[in-house]
Structure 1
Amino acid sequence: MRYLIMAEGEGDGELLLGRCAAVEGLFTDPPPPPREVLVLRGCAPGVRAEWLGAASVVGRTESGFEVWWTLVDAEVLSVAPHTGNPALVDVTIGAGVLPDDWHRHADGPFVRFELTTGRGAVRAVTRSATDGLVADRAAAEPLPLRLVGCEPAEPMRAALRKRRGRHPGYTELWSLDDTGRVMDRRAIGFDAEWTRPSVLGGALVDVLLSVDADGLPGLAARPAWRLWRAGPPQRAGSWRELDAAGRHAWLMLAMRRERPAGPDRSGGEYHLAGAGLRDEPGLHCAIGEALLGPGGYYGWGWDALFDSLCGGFGLVPPFTLVWHDFAATERELAGEHDPAAGPGYPEELARELEERGVTVLRA
């Protein structure tokens, strides 16, 4: 049995709903959101028509309340003079927009919008109106997840006896590696469409669930999961063979890895191999490995890294980080950086580490 279906039990305990041999649909990607055309009106000049890829627009109210709209496969379609002020431009964007209703909670009208494509890479700013952005969008349809070869415990049997099998509480799917350790925990709920005798035979059953699309790891995570199936990685640099999405999945698995009990240590010298990282997920894989060994986790991004410095992840400042091939890291991560915005991501991160008690030696 490679998977456990767990729910909240009494107090802080956990309740076993059932076990199953396999899961079909775990690595399914949701369909992309429908394409839309958005217009940011009255932007400063300097924007050009280009493909952006993953991007976002952040809207701010006068009080500082922020709403983020995530854009999928975004492209600046055109840049034209603004009708009210020819010194400004209207920026037309084609993109899929992920549904998000946070704009309903804004405490006033939005007074500023920024189009960004990465840390510090602001492509356009407007204090004027936008067309098509602030709107209610339909939530993504749930996806099917089939539990194959289930051995239900009584709480699951009770849910399945209902006309529509639902467990009322918070429910997770735990994935086990070959050593029996929990490799991943994922909130899926328990909303059963049907139950049938299992294709594996015996007294087992197969169960079809409907789950939220954002609860699944997605297709890009499969290569990283294969590397972790045998147990926590023992070989340095295994993550280097993955693409950016696979490296992000690697970081999520590393984050969920059980950490040794006991107090955090400090001091010592650690060596970061800075060549061949390619992207920000690669950099954070390398940092976790440098500080805590193969499969080590020390944050999956900027904020998570600095949360790790506060303790609970095995190492706290002061310590020394020798960043080898620092110039190579800067070159490889330069694609999303606008030089006018200040130092690049590696240099900015190094400076912030130094402010928080880490000695960074750029080699």
Structure 2
Amino acid sequence: MQPVDHREWERPFPVRYLVVGEDEDGGELLLGRCAAVEGLFTDPAPPPREVLVLRGCAPGAAAGWLGPAEIVGRTASGFDTWWTLVDAEVLSVAPGADGSALVDVVIGAGVHPADWHRNTDEPFVRFELVTRRGAVRATGRAVAGLAVDRPAADPLPLRLVGCEPAEPMRAALRKRCGPHPGYTELWSLDDTGRVMDRRAIGFDVEWTRPSVLGGALVDVLLTVEADGLPGSAARAVWRQWRAGPPRQAGSWRGSGTAAKETWQTLALYLRGPGPDRSGGEYHLDGREVEDVTGLHCAIGEAVNGPGGYYGREWNGLRDCLGGGFGLVPPFTLVWHDFAVTEEELAADRDPATGLGYPEGVARELERRGVTVVRA
């Protein structure tokens, strides 16, 4: 399905969104097109703060702030489970209650529900505390206070305003008690008709009414999963990208971390098909990199130009180095003002190795075959 084929209609306002489902063969199926969406930039409530105790760990873990992290439950067969930790901090490391040389690691964090549904009949053999760099900070045999099944956040309302349903959506709306479209996405269009973002929204309809925009249009109120919305920080970034992808590098500078994360999401959708290239020399501007997310924005633009994507965090960078994102090693990255980047991100240092985040990234690039010139 070509989105540009559906962006024109005979109304005094543009089509900004497409509602897209799947046909019987799994292909893209237009369900409707809309002038606006209300509630898209709502912020879900953060998860409540909790205290977890990772028991039976080898000595060596240190107290300190971690930021984004994960608890990973490992099984013998590989059916692992991830719990995302928000603003995590190791509060203390204390001797274990069993009198052995092992220690208990006490963690404070907001905890999201598990990201993977495991085989509940298979026990975990260990739990790992993993940082956003992918480093295992501590490994224990159990986690006190970590429930396997956590309730999901309450769904949030999302109102499609000025919606012109296609026949599959009209049929679903007529049969409120019948089958609805299964997998449903909301595609956001820029001024050229290019898809700049896709969101899985489902099709849980609360009501349908004649649209406030008049004509034969309708307004449809859905309820959607809270973690599927872009959030309030995305609004300004979407407005910036609505006219088209950035033409100058560094348009993310000066934004907050959440806005930079949105910038990277839009950059990821900008990535088009095509073969990977290798070789060549690329230049990274290390000035004005205010945070780790900004560093990954800068890396993406260094190798793929303005609006370029090359991983949104540590694990994403490693995935990109493996291919599929425009550039694979070997190549040369000239990191200008590397010392400035190190100083700016001095607080983000791995206590286990003593390395700052930029140095850790540089070494990972070198390990994967990239020549890094620290200028």
TM-score (norm 2): 0.84
Give 1:205's aligned residue: 218
Q: 2 CA distance for matches of 1:285 and 1:329? A: 13
Q: 2 CA distance for matches of 1:40 and 1:217? A: 32
Q: 2 CA distance for matches of 1:28 and 1:79? A: 38
Structure 1 segments unaligned to the other structure (5+ residues):
none
Q: 1:349 aligns with which of 339, 345, 361?
A: 361
Give 2:242's aligned residue: 229
Structure 1 residue 271, shift from structure 2 partner: 0.8
Asked if 1:290 corresponds to 2:290, the answer is: no
Structure 1 residue 295, shift from structure 2 partner: 0.4
Q: How does 1:101-180 map to 2 (within 5 A)?
A: 102=116, 104-105=118-119, 108-119=122-133, 124-127=138-141, 129-164=142-177, 167-180=180-193
Structure 1 residue 107, shift from structure 2 partner: 7.2
Q: 2:229 aligns with which of 213, 216, 227?
A: 216
Aligned alpha-carbon RMSD (Å): 2.9
Q: How does 1:53-72 map to 2 (within 5 A)?
A: 53-61=67-75, 66-72=80-86
| Percent identical | 75
Q: 2 CA distance for matches of 1:303 and 1:121? A: 10
Per-residue CA deviation, residues 3-51 of structure 1 (Å, 9 max, x unaligned), is 0111123546421111111001111122223443322334456667666
SS in 2 for 1:26: coil
Structure 1 residue 122, shift from structure 2 partner: 5.3
For 1:328, the aligned partner's letter is V
For 2:175, the aligned partner's letter is K
Change (3 A) 1:340 1:312: closer
Q: 1:25 aligns with which of 1, 24, 39?
A: 39
Q: 1:244 aligns with which of 250, 257, 281?
A: 257
Structure 1 residue 284, shift from structure 2 partner: 1.5
Change (3 A) 1:168 1:68: same
Task: Return 151-160 or 76-85, whichever deviates more.
Answer: 76-85
Residue pair 1:160, 1:166 contacting (<8 A) in 2 also = no
Change (3 A) 1:4 1:304: same
Structure 1 residue 66, shift from structure 2 partner: 3.6
Q: 2 CA distance for matches of 1:166 and 1:179? A: 34
Give 1:181's aligned residue: 194
Q: 2 CA distance for matches of 1:107 and 1:46? A: 32
Q: 2 CA distance for matches of 1:325 and 1:111? A: 45
Asked if 1:4 corresponds to 2:18, the answer is: yes
Structure 1 residue 224, shift from structure 2 partner: 2.0
Q: 1 CA distance for matches of 2:108 and 2:276? A: 48
Residue pair 2:196, 2:270 contacting (<8 A) in 1 also = yes
For 1:211, the aligned partner's letter is V
For 1:162, the aligned partner's letter is K
Structure 1 residue 294, shift from structure 2 partner: 0.8
SS in 2 for 1:241: coil
For 2:259, the aligned partner's letter is G
Give 1:276's aligned residue: 288
Per-residue CA deviation, residues 116-171 of structure 1 (Å, 9 max, x unaligned), is 443266554434x4322143211222211100011111111111111247633321
For 2:349, the aligned partner's letter is H
Structure 1 residue 291, shift from structure 2 partner: 1.5
Change (3 A) 1:49 1:338: closer
Change (3 A) 1:86 1:31: same
SS in 2 for 1:110: coil
Residue pair 2:80, 2:118 contacting (<8 A) in 1 also = no
Per-residue CA deviation, residues 296-347 of structure 1 (Å, 9 max, x unaligned), is 1222233333433444433333332111112222333343332433644433
Q: 2 CA distance for matches of 1:223 and 1:306? A: 29
Residue pair 1:82, 1:90 contacting (<8 A) in 2 also = yes
Structure 1 residue 289, shift from structure 2 partner: 0.9
Task: Return 140-149 or 312-321, whichever deviates more.
Answer: 312-321
Q: 2 CA distance for matches of 1:265 and 1:221? A: 31
Change (3 A) 1:54 1:179: same
Residue pair 2:334, 2:374 contacting (<8 A) in 1 also = yes
Residue pair 1:121, 1:336 contacting (<8 A) in 2 also = no
Residue pair 1:120, 1:338 contacting (<8 A) in 2 also = no
The alignment of Structure 1 onto Structure 2 pairs a total of residues equal to 361
Structure 1 residue 185, shift from structure 2 partner: 1.2
Q: 2 CA distance for matches of 1:345 and 1:78? A: 23
For 1:229, the aligned partner's letter is R
